[in-house]
């Protein structure tokens, strides 16, 4: 398996190179030269295959021999070592709960897979060079609008040969999210940026193109622009489909509503469908940051500055991964519209939906899941079809919004209670690439 740049100005690379470098030299995102195609017999077997074996079979073609089978099996088993339950909310809408991992967010899957891949490549390089001391560590740069930072911090914590620098927008992540990414220590450093997520993401993208930083560091990204973070997100679509077929059979298609910000998650699902998984229609549920919603209505792609909302992980004004969706759809607008719909909602209706569903259905949505639920309702009214929503984070990560809506205190899961006794450690940073570059070069000079 080779990967090409969507910028079309860089040479093709293998999975290892794409994972280590993150982004192509021409600033394009990497995309597989061929989308693996599963046979009818494989799809039938997938219905009852255990999660670890299924994950291995899905990811093996993308890795393309850069990781030996035994190691890849271990990586996959560790990546998905928690539950992905499909829980009914109403008669026609179910929730795929993706918050049962260590940081209570869907991004645990991609972060765990990527961290273990980079750890494998680092150990292999050290062995080939004869000593880890002769190998410059990988430095992972990641911008986060909320959950990515915590998932990456947890996934990479203590991984030999890898340093992690997380940039997050000051005042725009929830208290639990901030503690998850600022209290790790060891090989994890958090930068509190005076700006938006788009500012953080722009800094990361500029860093990859900067000659001085690339001379001083082996840079890579853990955002969903990195194929090792993006592609394994396909896995829970397979797990959801297993449960859907067991409950509904093959005749009823599983339509999927995804709360969408940077569009990596929904893009991974569309990749799974393109590889042969028999999924239904996709719906991108957006908040006020609705560039794709407007594009599907007008065929005009107009970038706007990100607006702060209660569903903060979706506060993205220029979604990086949408270009990959266009590639899957062969840049055919009509084909795209037949495969993808999108609706957007404001904070008022988002919060009222959390309250309504809690009272009527005894289910607690987080702000992102609430946006997805609204879109699933609208999709159902428009087309008369059932759907699942992706609940991408535990409601406890958004206590101010959820508790205000439901009128009750959310119990903090045991798995994150230890964070409450820790103190945030973050380095203040201006929202300019110059500030970040100067800081990075000063750190390199001290090492």
What's the token pair of residue 131? 């000593």
DSSP 189: E
Write out the catalytic residue numbers. Answer: 107
Q: What is the CATH number of the domain that holds 399?
A: 3.40.50.1100
pLDDT band at 22 (very low <50, low <70, confident <90, very high): confident
The domain tally of the chain equals 1
**Angle between helix 147-156 and 107-129 (nearest 10):** 40
**For 148-157, how does the pLDDT look when each residue is reduced to its tens digit (9 = 90+)?**
888 889 989 9
Banded pLDDT at 135 (limits 50, 70, 90): low
Question: What domain range includes position 90?
Answer: 85-102+230-411
Whether 285 maps to a domain, the answer reads yes
- What pLDDT score does 220 carry? 83
Strands 86-88 and 93-97 turn out to be antiparallel
Query: What pLDDT is attached to residue 83?
Result: 96
At 54 the pLDDT is: 98
54 or 412: which carries more pLDDT confidence?
54
Check if the beta carbon of residue 380 is closer than 8 Å to that of residue 262: no
Percent of the chain with pLDDT over 90: 76
Q: Which tens digits make up the pLDDT trace of 275-313?
A: 999 999 999 999 999 999 999 999 999 998 888 899 988
Whether pTM exceeds 0.85: yes
Whether residue 217 is predicted with pLDDT greater than 80 in this model: the reply is yes
Question: CA 340 → CA 35, 59, 215, 328, 343, distances in Å?
Answer: 19, 24, 42, 12, 10
Q: Do the Cβ atoms of 108 and 151 come closer than 8 Å?
A: yes
pLDDT for 242 beyond 70? yes
Q: E strands, 270-399, where?
A: 282-286, 340-344, 387-391
388 occurs within a structural domain: yes
C-alpha–C-alpha distance, residues 398 and 310, integer Å: 8
Instruction: Kindly report the average pLDDT of the chain as a whole number.
Output: 93
Give the mean pLDDT of 321-349: 97
Asked whether residue 129 is domain-assigned, the answer is no
Predicted confidence (pLDDT) at residue 210 exceeds the cutoff of 60: yes
- Residue 267 within any structural domain of the chain: yes
57 within a domain of the structure (yes/no): no
Q: What is the mean pLDDT of the segment spanning 53-71?
A: 97
- Please check whether residue 431 lies inside any domain of the structure: no
- Asked whether the predicted pLDDT for residue 159 surpasses 60, the reply is yes
- Reply yes or no on whether the pLDDT at 323 is more than 60: yes
Task: Establish if 314 belongs to a structural domain.
Answer: yes
Query: How are strands ordered across the β-sheet holding 340-344?
Result: 86-88, 93-97, 387-391, 255-259, 282-286, 340-344
In a domain, 118, yes or no: no
pLDDT at 130: 65
Instruction: Please indicate whether residue 204 or residue 96 has the higher confidence score (pLDDT).
Output: 96
Read off the pLDDT of residues 400-434 as tens digits, 9 standing for 90 and up: 999 999 999 998 888 888 888 899 999 999 999 99
> Per-residue pLDDT for 132 more than 50?
no
């Amino acid at each position: 398996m080779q990967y090409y740049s969507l910028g079309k100005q860089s040479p093709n690379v293998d999975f290892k190179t794409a994972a280590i470098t993150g982004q192509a030299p021409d600033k394009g995102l990497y995309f597989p030269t061929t989308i693996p195609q599963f046979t009818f017999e494989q799809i039938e077997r997938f219905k009852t295959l255990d999660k670890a074996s299924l994950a291995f079979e899905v990811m093996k073609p993308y890795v393309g021999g850069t990781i030996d089978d035994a190691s890849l099996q271990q990586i996959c088993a560790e990546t998905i070592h928690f539950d992905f339950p499909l829980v009914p909310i109403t008669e026609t809408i179910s929730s795929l709960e993706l918050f049962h991992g260590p940081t209570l967010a869907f991004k645990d899957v991609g972060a765990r897979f990527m961290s273990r891949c980079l750890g494998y490549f680092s150990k292999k390089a050290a062995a080939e060079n004869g000593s880890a001391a002769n190998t410059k560590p990988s430095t992972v740069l990641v911008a986060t609008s909320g959950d990515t930072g915590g998932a990456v911090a947890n996934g990479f914590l203590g991984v030999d040969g890898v340093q992690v620098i997380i940039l997050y927008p000051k005042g725009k992540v929830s208290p639990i999210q901030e503690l998850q990414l600022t209290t790790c220590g060891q090989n994890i450093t958090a930068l509190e940026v005076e700006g938006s997520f788009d500012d953080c993401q722009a800094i990361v993208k500029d860093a990859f193109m900067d000659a001085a930083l690339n001379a001083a560091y082996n840079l890579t990204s853990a955002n969903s622009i990195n194929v090792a973070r993006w592609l394994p997100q396909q896995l829970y679509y397979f797990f959801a489909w297993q449960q859907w077929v067991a409950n509904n059979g093959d005749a009823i298609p599983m339509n999927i509503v995804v709360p969408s910000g940077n569009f990596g998650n929904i893009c991974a699902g569309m990749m799974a469908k393109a590889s042969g998984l028999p999924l239904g229609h996709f719906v991108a549920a957006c908040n006020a940051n609705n560039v794709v919603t407007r594009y599907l209505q007008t065929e005009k792609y107009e970038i706007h500055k990100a607006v702060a909302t209660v569903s903060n992980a979706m506060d993205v004004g220029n979604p990086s991964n949408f270009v990959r969706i266009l590639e899957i759809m062969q840049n055919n607008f009509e084909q795209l519209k037949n495969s993808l719909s999108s609706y957007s909602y404001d904070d008022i209706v988002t919060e009222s939906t959390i309250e309504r569903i809690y009272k009527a259905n005894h289910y607690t949505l987080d702000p992102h899941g609430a946006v997805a639920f609204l879109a699933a309702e609208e999709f159902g009214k428009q087309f008369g079809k059932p759907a699942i929503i992706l609940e991408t984070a535990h409601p406890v990560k958004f206590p101010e919004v959820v508790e205000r809506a439901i009128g009750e205190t959310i119990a903090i899961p045991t798995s994150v209670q230890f964070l409450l006794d820790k103190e945030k450690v973050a380095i203040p940073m201006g929202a300019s690439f110059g500030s970040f570059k100067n800081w990075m070069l000063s750190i390199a000079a001290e090492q």
